[in-house]
Chains A and B, each alone.
Chain A
Amino acid sequence: MRTVQTSPVELAPPLRLVDVSKRYDSGAGGEVVALSHVDFAVAYGEMVAVIGPSGSGKSTMLNILGLLDEPTSGRVELRGQPTVGLTEKQRTDARRESLGFVFQDFHLLPTLTALENVRLPTAFLPGDATDRARDLLERVGLGDRLDHTPDELSGGQKQRVAIARALVNEPDVLLADEPTGNLDRETGTSILEEIRRITDEEDVGVVAVTHDDLVTDYADRTVELVDGVIQDG
């Protein structure tokens, strides 16, 4: 846990967007502005909900935060370090070292058990993350489902496995794309409680992109995006 913050790098927010814009060619010579001059940061242990209508640039923002996409202008800082100019390999390493992902439709590998799915991000690394994976699964209440494959789990259980997977690498920030989108309200509530509790325990920042008002109830702060611009609220 990061209770002692001494170095200046540690004082910087784990993930930050500085004046980030993203434009796409719309094909017929035109341009679509997905994000426009966005400044954004998330702190350790903080949960931020990003809301907005579809097409508002939420997913683009999450992809850029997740180093899956690059901004057209502006910069992304990871623990105070700019990420511009990183090679694909370095970005992949940075994702594995600092970020965790939770998706709307879980995206678990159907051939792997819960434990193996959680261990997956570390599969090609030396060392054995089995203990950490088992610990995380126990903490999300799936200690008795370690050897179950995804088709033997309910939607809520799958999302718990996905949360454990997102945390196995001890990330700085967990990025969630509609984490409750495929779940009923009751399950969604328990998933959000789970995310909140476990990221507080691990001092992990959370950015959740969502349509769901429920998410904002659990967030420390909510940011609204409209047409790629953050609304001051």
Chain B
Amino acid sequence: MAENGRRFPALSLATRNLSRQRLRAGLAALGIVIGVFAVVTLGLLGNALSVAATEELGGLGDQVIVSPAEGSDAESLDARDLAAVQRAADGRGTVVPLKTTGGTVRASGGRTVAQVYGTDSPQALFGNGSGIVPAFHRQGAIVGADVAEDLSLRPGSTITVEGNEYRVVSVLPEVQSISPLQPDSAVVLPPDEFATSGYSQVVVRADSAADARAVADEVDRRLNARQERVSVFSLTSVLDRIAEFFDLLNGFLLAVAGVSLVVAGVSIFNVMLMTVSERRGEIGVLRAVGIHRKQVLRTLLVEATLLGVVGGAVGAVLGVVAVVVTATQTELPLWAVLLPGNALVPLGAFAFGVLVALVGGLYPAYRAAWEPPVEALRG
């Protein structure tokens, strides 16, 4: 301490002064602990939730579904429409025309009602990159995970859809992410099996969310110029809304936490004001014996800032621990918490806590350091 005292007199004097009123200093620092803890936990949880949700919903954003407009006479999309969508999606993703109907599926294991899709390229829609789903579909049936489970189907089983028998060629893996199509409870047949020639919808699997947005706009421009022929459904805008909502939520949470930090700043202000009014005489002596106003100010600011440094460090560590524990105990994925970018939250909260303490100490320190020593010594 003696060595430090010579090298960092302000720091040494400040720590001595803080140790004088341990309880009071502790309580002031506790305010910062709570504020920083709140910012860290709410900030990290908000970020992690947002990241996890975006990941969960990610697949949604890439799909554009074009179907006949509700008001139009057409009940299906014809080859001309398909060609228009294909041109719109050129270079931006894969176009999969789809026939859709509902139907009863029978098998030796029982019967169930399923969505029946007709497409010749199921892998683009349902594949998720796995090799189980054939790229081209010319015969037999591909069944969704739920259907397969309900009817105890395996590749090779036989099912009857609307009176026609099909051999199961493949079972779709269970779908994790949310999708506008419901492959789990579907049966996918080659399109030739459908009596109709048109398509009930055309799905574009775009390469990215931006591509999806561009394709949706382009299809709308090409097909709906004169009259509303098709409805273009894309979840990009929904995703944007969800992202906006999370931004708003995070902002709100951080604002609430920020308020608690500001309150902590007020308590530092109060404590420093008390401290300097109790130590008026001492500060007067410092000034009388030749310590400059700025040196007194620095000493008092170090004192206030130390409260912020200690409180902020404790609050940041506790906050991170609390969020990690929360993640391990709930469905919130831990990786979403431990993203490198999230380190900014505790660091930022710590810095904010220190800043708040510094600002809280500014006026009391200034008032004490600038008081004429004659008046301070008078007591």
Q: Taking beta carbons and an 8 Å cutoff, which residues of A are in contact with B?
A: 63, 66, 68-69, 88-89, 92-93, 95-97, 100-101, 103, 107, 109-112, 116, 120-121, 123-124, 128, 130, 165-166, 169
Give Cα A203 to B89, complex, Å.
99
Nearest-CB distance from A165 to chain B (Å)? 7
* 8 Å CB contact of B13 from A89, A123, A166: A123
- Please determine whether B288 and A111 come into contact, CB atoms closer than 8 angstroms: no
B2 surroundings in chain A (CB, below 8 A): 116, 130
Name the contact of B20 in the complex, choosing from A93, A111, A124 (C-beta under 8 A): A111
Chain A residues in 8 Å Cβ range of B291:
92, 96, 120-121, 123-124
Contact check: which of A111, A130, A165 meets B16 at CB < 8 Å? A111
CB distance A92 to B287 under 8 Å?
Answer: yes
Stretch of B127-135, B180-188, B278-286, B336-344 with 4 or more beta carbons under 8 angstroms from chain A: B278-286
Expressed in whole angstroms, the minimum distance between the Cβ of A164 and any Cβ of chain B is: 12
Q: Are A95 and B374 in contact (CB under 8 A)?
A: no
Asked whether any CB of chain A lies closer than 8 Å to the CB of B160, the reply is: no
For the complex of A and B, 5 pairs with smallest distance between CB atoms: A96-B290, A111-B16, A121-B289, A123-B9, A107-B285
A96 to B377, CA, bound (A): 17
Q: Is the CB of B374 within 8 A of A124?
A: no
CB-nearest residue of chain A to B1: A116
**Minimum CB distance partner of A60 in chain B:** B374
Of residues 288 through 302 on chain B, the ones whose CB sits less than 8 Å from some CB of chain A are 288-293, 295
Pick 17 A–B contacts, CB within 8 A, sort by A. A68-B373, A89-B293, A92-B287, A92-B291, A92-B292, A95-B289, A96-B291, A100-B289, A101-B285, A107-B284, A107-B377, A111-B13, A120-B289, A123-B13, A124-B10, A124-B292, A166-B289
Given that A69-B374, A111-B16 are known contacts, is A103 also in contact with B285, CB under 8 Å in the complex? yes
Q: Kindly provide the distance from the CB of B276 to the nearest chain A CB, expressed in whole angstroms.
A: 14
A96 near B289: Cβ-Cβ < 8 Å: yes
Residues on the B chain within 8 Å of A111, using CB: 13, 16-17, 19-20
**Measured between alpha carbons, how far is A130 from B2 in the docked complex, in Å?**
10
Residues from chain A with a CB closer than 8 A to the CB of B282 are 107, 109
> Which residue of B9, B285, B287, B373 contacts A124 across the interface (Cβ within 8 Å)?
B9
B9–A68 touching, CB < 8 Å: no
- List B1-57 residues whose CB lies under 8 Å from chain A: 2, 5-6, 9-10, 13, 16-17, 19-20
- B293 cross-chain contacts in A, Cβ below 8 A: 88-89, 92
Residue in B10, B17, B287, B373 with the greatest tally of chain A CB atoms within 10 Å: B373
Interface-centre pick from B2, B17, B19, B288 (highest chain A CB count, 10 A): B288
Report the bound CA distance from A54 to B372 in whole Å: 22
Interface centre among B9, B286, B287, B289 (most CB of A within 10 A): B289
A93 to B10, CA, bound (A): 18
Closest B residue, CB atoms, query A121: B289
Note all chain B residues with C-beta closer than 8 A to A69. 372, 374
Best-buried of A103, A112, A124, A165 by chain B (most CB within 10 Å): A124
Which of B2, B281, B286, B290 counts the most chain A CB atoms within 10 A? Answer: B290
B372 partner residues in chain A, CB cutoff 8 A: 68-69
A101 to chain B, nearest CB (A): 5
Report chain B residues within 8 Å CB of A103. Answer: 285, 377
* Complex partner residue of A95 from B19, B288, B377, CB under 8 angstroms: B288
Collect the chain B residues with CB atoms within 8 Å of residue A88's CB: 293
User: Is there contact, CB below 8 Å, between A93 and B16?
Assistant: no
Contacts of A116 in B (CB 8 A): 2, 5
Query: In the complex, which residues of chain A have a beta carbon less than 8 angstroms from the beta carbon of B284?
Result: 107
Q: Output the least CB separation between A34 and chain B (Å).
A: 12
On chain B, the residues within 8 Å of A96 by CB distance are 289-291
Closest to B285 in A: A107
- Shortest distance from the beta carbon of A128 to any chain B beta carbon, whole Å: 6
B288–A101 touching, CB < 8 Å? yes
Distance between A191 CB and nearest chain B CB, rounded to angstroms: 18
In the bound complex, CA of A14 to CA of B289 (Å): 17
Q: Determine the distance from Cα of A89 to Cα of B293 in the docked complex, in whole angstroms.
A: 8
- Please indicate the chain A residues that have their CB under 8 angstroms from the CB of B287 in the complex: 92
A92–B289 Cα gap in the complex (Å)? 8
Question: Which positions 260-314 of chain B face chain A at CB distance < 8 Å?
Answer: 281-282, 284-293, 295
- What's the Cα separation between A101 and B287 when bound, in Å? 11
Given A107-B285, A110-B20, A111-B20, check contact A121 B290 (CB 8 Å).
yes
- Distance of A150 from chain B, by nearest CB (Å): 11
Residues from chain A with a CB closer than 8 A to the CB of B5 are 116, 123
A64 nearest in chain B by CB position = B374
**Nearest Cβ distance between residue B322 and chain A, in whole angstroms?**
36
Report A-chain residues with C-beta under 8 Å of the C-beta of B374.
63, 68-69
Q: How many Å from the CB of A37 to the closest CB on chain B?
A: 21
Residue of B nearest to A162 (CB): B285
Report whether A66 and B292 are in contact in the complex, using a CB–CB cutoff of 8 Å.
no
Minimum CB–CB distance for B135 against chain A, Å: 79
